[in-house]
Copies of this chain bind each other. A is one copy, B any other.
Amino acid sequence: MSLWSRTRNTVYREITATAMALFLERGFDATTIDDIAAAAGISRRSFFRYFGTKEDVVLGDLIASGDLVRQALEARPDDEEVWAALRNALHSVKDTAFDEPTMLKIFTMVHQTPSLRARSIEKHLEWQALLTPEVRRRLGADPADPLDVRADALVATVITCLDVAGDAWTRGNGAVPLETLFDAAAAAVRAPGG
């Protein structure tokens, strides 16, 4: 069993690396799954045993991060303001699978490819669902009341700020760190004047 998952993880990472190289070289839409399968030396059918969709190759690690963010949020002290707790939880999770210039290229690709952008936002919706229960708890909200939107709104807004910051980060070619942009976005939203 341990050997299994190790082998599986190896293949998984190999496909990811191969596909990413192709994506960055000739673009996401211009790369077909047949291309990836051929380059990775597997069958088309096997690709779909590792990834549900082509988008998941790029965004797969992002999904897994969602649970890490949840854990980080739950680890924040109870007396911390919800907003700050969410911010710190997000910042504590860094994806270190690629170096920063590559990350910038990937981010840019995601933000410029509609299907990737959409999928990425869907992943963010999953994060929302993951983080909302803990925020409800911190707000003392009834966990089952569908009409108490406070937690949903807070989580969604924080993630939106992250998205806006990521967008600006790619537009500015990574000149300003993501954290700075995020804090600027958050400050704008919470400023009394608006």
Using a CB–CB distance below 8 Å, which chain A residues touch chain B?
A: 81-84, 114, 117-119, 121-122, 125, 146-147, 149-154, 156-157, 160-161, 163-165, 167-168, 171-172, 175-176, 181, 184-186, 188-190, 193-194
Q: CB-nearest residue of chain B relative to A159?
A: B160
Residues of chain B within 8 A of A156, CB atoms compared: 160-161, 163-164
In contact, A152 and B81 (Cβ under 8 angstroms)? no
Q: How many copies does the complex hold?
A: 2
15 extra A-B contacts, CB within 8 A, seeds A147-B171, A157-B160: A81-B194, A82-B194, A114-B122, A118-B121, A147-B168, A147-B175, A149-B164, A149-B181, A150-B184, A150-B185, A153-B160, A153-B184, A160-B160, A189-B190, A190-B190
A131 to B163, CA, bound (A): 17
In contact, A157 and B147 (Cβ under 8 angstroms)? no
A168 to B156, CA, bound (A): 13
Q: A185-B153, A186-B153 are in contact. Are A147 and B176 (CB under 8 A)?
A: yes
